[in-house]
Amino acid sequence: MFNTPNRVIQAAGFACLLTVFFLPSVAAEIQSGFKTADEILVTAKTDRKLAEVLATSHVLDAAEIRAAQAIDLPDLLDQISGLNTTPTGGRGSVTGVFVRGTSIAQNIVLIDGVRVGSATLGQAALNTYPLDAIERIEVVKGPLAAIYGADAVGGVIQIFSRKAVPGRGTATVTMGSDSLLEYGLTLGVSNQRNSLVMSAHAEQTDGIDHTSILSDGNDDRDGFDESSFSLVAETQLGAASSAGFSILYTDNESQFDNTFGADSGFVTTNRTLNMAVNITTKLADSVKWVTTLGANEDESITDVFASDITSNRASAATEFAFMLGDATELTVGADYYREDIESLSEFPVTDRDNTGAFALLQSTLGKFSLLGSMRYDDNSAYGGETNGSIAADYDFSDDLRIVLSFGTAFAAPSFNFLYFPFFGNPDLLPEESESLEISLMGNNHNLDWRISAFQTDIKNLFSFDPNTFLAANIGAAEFRGLEMEIASEIADWLIRANIDLLSARDTDTNLKLDDRVQTSLNISAARNFDRLNLRFDIRAEDGRHDNGGTELSGYALFDLSSSYQLNDRLSVSAKIANLFDKDYTLNLLGFTERYNTLGRQGRLTVRYQF
């Protein structure tokens, strides 16, 4: 619809300025800086309030997700302290997500309590999950293998599906740069015992040229098409029992550059299907029983390479939480999953299974809180692994607390590392890690703040042995970091800022690891008025390394966004991302080319509730 990017950018800018011109004179109450201390964090497995969780955690609810007007899920996660992304082009390109320097393969992604991702790659394609289908995101940083098992080295990202709003539906239309067109529809119904919500989303964009390669017709746009459907049903089975079911299906096609000229069929199709069943029963006032069943399928097809890979995972988990008095909680659980793959390439082994059991104990003794957890995993591919973690908290006052934690974790080798023809090595050992963290946090005179220092040491890193031409456990790495966050309300503006300092090195060579951001800064300023919200965002990095030492220059991006509630049902929002059209590089392609990044982008969204 918009063939010229500047037309959309100008329209988005006009919408932002128009809302500024019609500012109401009286500001409404806005949210506090960090999440309320009474909010429950599910991913930590203790159902504790945020103020009581002994791990560095972040929560984004539906309102915050919508207000950010992010391009996709990795773009949204990039705003969280300790998380950084590395895209390989524009919308639809493969995007790496790093948590405290650890790669996405060294972290776990859950949807409604069920682990998702490709068994061959060992990671989840976060760029394929539509934001419209997400109700809430929880990020818990630090080693969580003592609860979740393999790959919880850097942390856990959990996505919760959209919930029903009684008798309400929402329709959205978004237009943007690069001929972007998005549609979204959500329908929800509920009564006292049951609820059902269905969401559908479609997106199409001409995209940008993913790479800087100009030869052989590669100076063309690489488009992206996406469609998705989700359904969430919940029911109250009785006075003490409830059940929920969720399903998310995504189907997308993304073009990429090639050496045979433009439009020659270089398209990758990705399809994912994720299903979860959760049953919660209160057996007594002090005993809760939770059972989770899950299944997911991840398929990737690239016709031009005759590549068609499908990975499947079926899982079952059960856990019991016991309140032992007013201040002590014991959680014990066991889980099982089976993975299998189908591929045009002949893998010598196509399935594996894992059985795990864990116990977690958290107790509060006056101003002290203590937590300990232990887990054992038995995997058919690489044997047994035992991991544990401990944490202690001391509350100096209601406004000041300190948390100290230590934990071990491991990352399992993927099917590609173990069995890929002519490359895989079935004798690979899991990567193993030890992490230490100390955090100080408080609230002083309307200022929420948190400082966290951490170190993670990883050995048995997966790599490629140039002598045997096989995957191997080679080398070790050390990650040291400092995260600082503040949030405050100043003159009716909600100000949030975080700065991350990271040193990520190969301990054998002392060289910096590729793709890790050394210093990053996020600043957000938002203000709510009677019907209007204004927001300014700044993201800056001082640079990163790629291709074994090539230094990439730093950059700063400025975003401007606004939304206006025209009436009880209709709202309009607009965003200009990369306001000053900064040209920057996040990822190299070989030694002479690079993956392109998005320039100035404009978006206009109309939302109608019915």
Q: 373 and 46 in contact (C-beta within 8 Å)? A: no
- Alpha carbon of residue 34 to chain centroid: 19
Which of 561, 573, 560 minimizes the C-alpha distance to 608?
A: 573
Pairing of strands 493-506, 476-490: antiparallel
pTM for the structure as a whole = 0.89
pLDDT digits (tens, 9 = 90+) for 306-329: 678 899 999 999 999 999 988 999
Q: Report pLDDT for 32.
A: 37
What is the dihedral angle through the alpha carbons of 41, 319, 338, 383, rounded to the nearest 10 degrees? 100
SS3 217: helix
Angstrom distance (rounded) from CA 461 to CA 106: 11
SS3 472: strand
Phi, psi for 560 (deg, rounded to 5): -130, 130
pLDDT digits (tens, 9 = 90+) for 134-162: 999 999 999 999 999 999 999 999 999 98
Paired with 173 in beta bridges are 183, 606
The fraction of the chain above a pLDDT of 70, given in percent, is 88
pLDDT-derived band at 433, boundaries 50, 70, 90: very high
Taking residues 182-194, what's their average pLDDT? 92
Q: What is the mean pLDDT of the chain?
A: 87
Q: Report pLDDT for 473.
A: 93
SS3 458: strand
pLDDT digits (tens, 9 = 90+) for 26-85: 233 333 345 545 566 777 666 655 556 688 999 999 999 999 999 999 999 999 999 998
| pLDDT at residue 435 is higher than 70 | yes
| pLDDT at residue 179 is higher than 90 | yes
Taking residues 509-521, what's their average pLDDT? 91
Which of 460, 440, 462 minimizes the C-alpha distance to 451?
A: 440
Q: What are the CA-CA distances from residue 284 to residues 240, 290, 321 (Å)?
A: 9, 13, 11
Angstrom distance (rounded) from CA 551 to CA 545: 5
**pLDDT greater at residue 255 or residue 296:** 296
| pLDDT at residue 259 is higher than 60 | no
Asked whether the CA dihedral 505, 507, 510, 514 is positive or negative, the reply is: negative
**pLDDT greater at residue 32 or residue 517:** 517
Running DSSP on this structure, what letter comes out for residue 455? E
Q: Give me the residue spans of the domains in the chain.
A: 5-609
E strands, 328-444, in order: 328-343, 351-365, 368-379, 383-397, 400-411, 431-444
SS3 415: helix
Neighbours of 499 (CB within 10 A): 16
Which of 332, 418, 433, 431 minimizes the C-alpha distance to 380?
A: 418
Q: Which residue has the tokens 């098409």?
A: 225
Q: Report pLDDT for 467.
A: 86
CATH topology of domain 5-609: Maltoporin; Chain A (2.40.170)
Angstrom distance (rounded) from CA 183 to CA 181: 7
Q: What share of the chain is helix, strand, coil (3-state, %, to 5)?
A: 10, 60, 30
Q: Report pLDDT for 258.
A: 64
Neighbours of 371 (CB within 10 A): 25
pLDDT-derived band at 515, boundaries 50, 70, 90: confident
Q: Report pLDDT for 410.
A: 97
Angstrom distance (rounded) from CA 385 to CA 470: 24
The one-letter amino acid at 193: R
Phi, psi for 66 (deg, rounded to 5): -70, -40
Angstrom distance (rounded) from CA 394 to CA 95: 39
Paired with 500 in beta bridges are 483, 520
Which structure tokens are listed for 146? 């003592």
Asked whether the CA dihedral 46, 320, 363, 388 is positive or negative, the reply is: negative
pLDDT digits (tens, 9 = 90+) for 196-210: 999 999 999 998 887
pLDDT-derived band at 25, boundaries 50, 70, 90: very low
SS3 105: helix
**pLDDT greater at residue 24 or residue 312:** 312
E strands, 191-327, in order: 194-205, 224-236, 241-255, 267-284, 287-302, 307-323
Which of 473, 491, 483 minimizes the C-alpha distance to 413?
A: 473
Q: Report pLDDT for 28.
A: 31
pLDDT digits (tens, 9 = 90+) for 105-130: 999 999 999 999 888 888 888 888 88
Angstrom distance (rounded) from CA 58 to CA 141: 9
Greatest mean pLDDT range, 268-277, 429-438, 546-555: 429-438
Taking residues 477-495, what's their average pLDDT? 96
What string of DSSP letters covers 360-394?
A: EEEEEETTEEEEEEEEEEEETTTEEEEEEEEEEEE
